[in-house]
Amino acid sequence: MGVDAPPRAYRARALPVSKVAQAYPLVQAAVPGITLERWRSFYESIEHLAQVSAKRQGQDAAGVMAIEDTRGYLRGLFSYRVGPDLRHGATLTVADIIILDLFDAESVAEVLLEAIEVLARALGCAGVHALLPMEAEALRMRLQREGLRAEALVLCSVKPLSRMDGA
C-alpha cells in the first residue's frame, strides 16, 4: 500500500538576480549549448529593459518570471515584454517558456499560465503573444486549450541578413 505524496505548491515571482545561476540548468535543458555567460547576459539585458521602462511608465514592462516550489527549487520560467501591437494594442509577449518538472509538470504549467494572465492584467495588456519553439507541441496545444490561437509565424535569422545584389 503506497502513501500518496502531498500536493506540491508552486508560486510565480520575478526571478531575482540571486537565482540566475540556479536557473541555468533549467535554461540549458531547454536551450542546449547555451553558456552561463549568455544566460546571464540575456537576464541582464531584460532587467535593463525593465529599468528603462519603469522610469518611463512607472512599471516593469519586461522581466523574467520564475515558478518555484515551496523549497525554493525552480520548476519553470518565462521572459516577457510589453509592447504595442497593431491588432491588439498593449500586448504582453512571453517567450523562453520553460517547464521542467518530471513529476508534476501539469501543476507547474497551471501556475505559469495563471502568472501570465495576472501579469497581462496588471500591466494593462489587451492581448498575450506566446513565442514557442517549433518543437513545443504539447505546450502549444495547452495554450490553445487556454484560448490562445495561432495568428502569426515568426521567422528567425541567426546572422545579419545579407543584401541581395540587383534587388
What does the H/E/C string look like for the chain?
CCCCCCCCCEEEEECCHHHHHHHHHHHHHHCCCCCHHHHHHHHHHHHHHHHHHHHHHCCCCEEEEEEEECCCCEEEEEEEEEEEECCCEEEEEEEEEEECCCCCHHHHHHHHHHHHHHHHHHCCCCEEEECCCCCCHHHHHHHHHCCCCCCCCCCCCCCCCCCCCCC
pLDDT of residue 162: 56
Angle at 43 between CA 160 and CA 26, to 5 degrees: 100
Q: Could you read off the pLDDT of 18-46 as tens digits, one per residue? A: 999 999 999 999 899 999 999 999 999 99
2 Cα distance to chain centroid: 36
Closest among 14, 157, 149, 38 to 88, alpha carbons compared: 149
pTM: 0.83
Q: Could you read off the pLDDT of 96-152 as tens digits, one per residue? A: 999 987 788 889 999 999 999 999 999 999 999 999 888 888 888 888 888 888 888
In angstroms, what CA-CA distances link 7 with 30, 67, 70, 83? 25, 16, 11, 37
Sign of the alpha-carbon dihedral angle for 13, 18, 20, 25: negative
Q: Could you read off the pLDDT of 53-64 as tens digits, one per residue? A: 665 664 558 999
pLDDT of residue 38: 95
Domains of the chain: 10-145 (3.40.630.30)
Q: Could you read off the pLDDT of 64-92 as tens digits, one per residue? A: 999 999 999 999 999 999 988 899 999 99
Q: Could you read off the pLDDT of 2-22 as tens digits, one per residue? A: 444 445 699 999 999 999 999
